[in-house]
Amino acid sequence: MDQPPAVLAPSGDLQPAQAHGELLASWLASIERDVADAQRSAATLVTYRSSIRTWEAWLRQSGIIQPGPLQVTEFLTAAGANRAPATRNRHLHALRSCYRWTESQGLYPAIARSARSLVVNRDEPLPCFSREQMEALLRAVSDSPEIGRARSPGETARAEVTRLRDIALIRVMFGTGLRLISLVRADVDHLDLESDPPTIRHQPKGHNTADATAMLADGQRTERYQNPMVRGDAALDHQTIGHRRQYR
């Protein structure tokens, strides 16, 4: 396989070339060392590794051995097709960091320097379910066919527990706007149904280790959250669905 040409180190000395996959692996290894030294978060490493793997796969599929700025732009266009601008920007941030490092080590030019990030308009409403879709989802979970297919009292009991669990998860997601990962990580001990309004503790997005608290519903809605069997418009009004306020 052809090797990329040798490049000049900052000192002016000619450095031996490496296969491109080795360059990317060396950069990821440097990020791993930063994580071990508590200079970067583990989440950063996971994000960078995902983007670099996507970049490597695209290079292999395209038969590119020595990528340049044009290939970076083509990759970002392909990787960001039909995706939010933030996805393209995430890949770009990883490539910029990678090739800044390779240039500083005298291994490869910073080919992602000239690529531009996309504007992320955070004022636009996020895509979400309509009221009809939410009601249909709750009906589908409430009318679980697993109970009808149960062949023993034990299977019936397990199906009923699963149904109640799914209803509770969906109602909490709709009622608080929590991310799925935050909700899945939640424990029963994180619920406080005695407070007014009832709350749930969760870990917010980002690298903050402190827990945040989300309100499940207004005080007069407490009974509905204690009983996930409740259905109808009263349980799906604007105070229980899409209620996204949070406080410490």
The per-residue pLDDT for range 88-118, each reduced to its tens digit, is 899 999 999 999 999 999 989 999 988 887 7
In CATH, what number is assigned to the domain containing residue 32? 1.10.150
Q: Please calculate the CA angle 197-202-205 and round it to the nearest 5 degrees.
A: 125
The per-residue pLDDT for range 212-242, each reduced to its tens digit, is 888 876 533 434 434 443 333 333 333 333 3
Residue 133 burial (C-beta neighbours within 10 Å; 0-12, 13-18, 19+): exposed
- Do residues 95 and 152 share a domain? no
Q: Mean of the pLDDT values across residues 126-137?
A: 81
Is the confidence at residue 198, as pLDDT, over 50?
A: yes
- Do residues 97 and 178 share a domain? no
Q: Look over the chain and give the mean of its residue pLDDT values, rounded to a whole number.
A: 76
Contact 62, 20 (CB under 8 A): no
- Do residues 238 and 157 share a domain? yes
In a domain, residue 5? The reply is no
- Do residues 137 and 242 share a domain? yes
pLDDT tier, 208 (very low <50, low <70, confident <90, very high otherwise): low
HEC profile of the chain: CCCCCCEECCCCCEECCCCHHHHHHHHHHHHHHHHHCCCCCHHHHHHHHHHHHHHHHHHHHHCCCCCCHHHHHHHHHHHCCCCCHHHHHHHHHHHHHHHHHHHHCCCCCCCCCCCCCCCCCCCCCCCCCCHHHHHHHHHHHHCCHHHHHCCCHHHHHHHHHHHHHHHHHHHHHHHHCCCHHHHHHCCHHHEECCCCCCEEEECCCCCCCCCEEEECCCHHHHHHHHCCCCCCHHHHCCCCCCCCCEEC
Predicted pLDDT of residue 210: 65
In a domain, residue 73? The reply is yes
φ, ψ (nearest 5 deg) of residue 219: -55, -40
pLDDT tier, 170 (very low <50, low <70, confident <90, very high otherwise): confident
Is the confidence at residue 60, as pLDDT, over 50?
A: yes
In a domain, residue 36? The reply is yes
In a domain, residue 110? The reply is no
Question: What's the distance, Cα to Cα, between the start and end of the chain in Å?
Answer: 57
Q: Mean of the pLDDT values across residues 1-22?
A: 51
Bridge partners (DSSP) listed for residue 215:
199
Predicted pLDDT of residue 119: 67
- State what percent of residues in the chain have pLDDT above 70: 74
In a domain, residue 126? The reply is no
Predicted pLDDT of residue 237: 38
- Do residues 88 and 179 share a domain? no
The per-residue pLDDT for range 18-53, each reduced to its tens digit, is 588 899 999 999 999 999 998 888 889 999 999 999
Predicted pLDDT of residue 97: 94
Predicted pLDDT of residue 220: 35
Residue ranges making up the domain that contains 83: 13-104
**What residue type is assigned to position 76 of the chain?**
L
Q: Which region among 120-134, 180-194, 231-245 has the lowest average model confidence (pLDDT)?
A: 231-245
Q: Mean of the pLDDT values across residues 181-206?
A: 80
Predicted pLDDT of residue 32: 94
In a domain, residue 53? The reply is yes
- Do residues 140 and 181 share a domain? yes
Predicted pLDDT of residue 204: 72
| Tokens standing for residue 80 | 């960001």
Q: Which region among 72-81, 123-132, 149-158, 225-234 has the lowest average model confidence (pLDDT)?
A: 225-234
Number of separate domains in the chain: 2
In a domain, residue 200? The reply is yes
Q: What is the dihedral of CA 166, 170, 171, 176, to 10 degrees?
A: 140
In a domain, residue 7? The reply is no
For helices 131-142 and 153-176, the axis angle rounded to 10 degrees is 160
pLDDT tier, 188 (very low <50, low <70, confident <90, very high otherwise): confident
